Amino acid sequence: METTQSFFSGFTPYDLLFLGEAALRTLWISVLSISIGTVLGAIFGWILYEGRWIATLTIAPVLDIFRSVPLIIQLVLFYNFAPIVGLNLDPFASGLVILTIYTAALVANVARGGIEAVGQPMRRAARSLGMTYWQDLRHVVLPIGGRAVFPSWVGVALGVMKDSALVSVLGYVELLKASQILITRTQEPFLILTVAGAFYFALSYPLSRYATHLENRWAQ
């Protein structure tokens, strides 16, 4: 009697560990891109606010491109064209570069909104007390404007964390790519996607709760 050989295997604890490692890779690329992108975005936002028409003609169009073009197209184009200019980057580095610039483009408008949220009378009052321009930014604009746009920044951070799944198209084995690999082998899409969704929730929920905690403290 002929026996039928199956090429598929069930979901095992090692597969759960594989997904956990992929979740850590997702967290790593997300934390780096959000952190660096936030710093760059704050600088770009300040330039947009202070640069007026010069920034409108130079930086603003570039940031609009990164905000408007779908992220997956940016990733594929950069990964394929970077070697032409001598940048031989692996999938992680390519994904990090684009995610960082994408984050910076989103944060730039948030940062500019935060600066604009601080009224000119308050800023003039700070200057009349003897504060320098940079002291005004640090002690007046940053605390007040930062609180005003903090929920928007949290939304950007959570969005970038989820959008990091698109780096899988470059071959970087993050959570979504790992899920696809396991689905192909186990043929258990519902179970694996449920576990992957739980990992995404575990990565995002602490940031969301901590943001809510900070907002409640500031409201007191």
Mean pLDDT of 43-70: 85
**pLDDT tens, residue by residue, 72-105:** 999 999 999 988 888 888 999 999 999 999 999 9
DSSP string, 34-101: HHHHHHHHHHHHHHHHHHTHHHHHTHHHHHHHHHHS-HHHHHHHHHHHGGGGT----HHHHHHHHHHH
pTM assigned to the model: 0.87
Cα within 13 Å of Cα(161), Cβ side: 23
Q: 213 with 154: CB under 8 angstroms?
A: no
Residue 6 in this model has a pLDDT that exceeds 70: no
Mean pLDDT of the chain: 86
**CATH fold for the domain made of 24-215:** MetI-like fold (1.10.3720)
**pLDDT tens, residue by residue, 119-136:** 788 888 888 888 888 888
Q: What is the C-alpha separation between 85 and 203, in angstroms, rounded? A: 36
What token pair was written down for 108? 């730039």
Q: Where are the domains of the chain?
A: 24-215
Residue 213 in this model has a pLDDT that exceeds 50: yes
